[in-house]
Amino acid sequence: MFLKINQLHTYYKFKKTIFSPSIWNYALKDFNLEIQRGDFVGVVGESGCGKTTLGNTLVGLIQPYSGEILYQNQLIISPKVNLLNSVLSLRRKIQMIFQDPYSSLNPRHKIKKILQSGLFLHKLATRKNIMEKLEYYLSLVHLNKHMLDRYPFELSGGQRQRIGIARAISLEPEVLICDEITSALDVSVQAYIINVLFELKQKLNLTILFITHDLSLVRHISNKVCVMYGGEVLEIGNTKTIFSNPKHPYTKALLNAVPTLNRNKKPAILEGEPPKTDTIYDHCIFYNRCPIKKEVCKETKPRLEKLNSREEHFSKCFFYSDV
């Protein structure tokens, strides 16, 4: 298995006030996902469902509460692994491009310093060949060497995001996590960034985990879809299968909410409130908003199970055949 996330739980501890008791925020709960080499996996779900936490946990920015992450059958992240002393040569292979191209780059540093820091840290460049390396990675994202002497505030949003991409690929990763990298950009720039991403996937043989709210974009670019809700995985499957034949009511609700050009088909709004983040549910987490719920859904928590032997399609629903 190339990349495996096994029973991952990531929690945050916080206080509303200084004197109030600590409260747990259960961001990821029993998260399981297997990714094959070369996959382009789209991760979708409502705001607050844990998508960004997933990305931050994968790159080691957050220590998980329990569970493990295996990369090429080697343990790289778990509660027992010291993130600062873990195998950097392995963790370097998983890199992340952040959502905001404005805050993800240090405004006090020139682009040259931003890009070369990681190369020197991982000993991927020397003083003699650093300029050659920097120019090469800038060329991969369609930027010229004159950018190296500029500060981030001198660049446009699209240029900054491409600098973020260059910084990630400069460490020679095999897995690239894209955390809503197009959400802060204009539509025309979004298309350009996606084209750059596809070029890099082909040239560098990348495996990509693409976190987004844009279901239309996911349908166009990904080969596998992971649907998240309340920190849990509700459905995983081939993109064509998920969009044509969803087997979880939440997935169907997401697809029905996508706007279309058909005036007679209005987007269906999912009623009800999302689950509380400070609660671990011992029943189906989608129960309060589910249109096909039954008594067993309130008494027992469903498991993420494979629906048939012919394809990799999983759903966490007792009555997936009724969706």
Does residue 171 lie in a domain region?
yes
Name the band, by pLDDT with cuts 50, 70 and 90, for residue 320.
confident
Q: What's the number of CA atoms in the CB half-sphere (13 Å) around residue 41?
A: 23
Does residue 132 lie in a domain region?
yes
According to the model, what pLDDT value does residue 87 have? 57
The per-residue pLDDT of the chain, averaged, comes to 90
Does residue 118 lie in a domain region?
yes
For residue range 66-119, list pLDDT tens digits in order. 999 999 988 888 888 776 665 566 778 999 999 988 899 999 999 999 999 999
Does residue 159 lie in a domain region?
yes
Does residue 254 lie in a domain region?
no
Does residue 298 lie in a domain region?
no
According to the model, what pLDDT value does residue 85 have? 60
* Per-residue tokens: 151: 């500060």
Alpha carbon distance 122, 115 (integer Å): 12
Name the band, by pLDDT with cuts 50, 70 and 90, for residue 187.
confident
According to the model, what pLDDT value does residue 251 have? 95
Domain of residue 120, CATH code: 3.40.50.300
pLDDT of 28 higher than 80: yes
pLDDT of 14 higher than 90: no
Does residue 169 lie in a domain region?
yes
Q: pTM for the full model?
A: 0.91
Say how many C-beta atoms besides its own lie within 10 A of residue 89's C-beta.
8
Do 313 and 236 meet the contact criterion of CB atoms below 8 Å apart?
yes
Do 197 and 180 meet the contact criterion of CB atoms below 8 Å apart?
no
Does residue 135 lie in a domain region?
yes
For residue range 207-232, list pLDDT tens digits in order. 999 999 999 899 999 999 999 999 99
**Domain extent at residue 173:** 96-199
Number of domains composing the chain: 1
According to the model, what pLDDT value does residue 265 have? 77
Alpha carbon distances (Å) from 177 to 79, 117, 239, 272, 314 = 21, 20, 18, 31, 22
Mean pLDDT confidence for 160-189: 92
Residue in 42, 58, 56 with CA at minimum distance from that of residue 5 = 58
In this prediction, what percent of the chain has a pLDDT beyond 90?
69
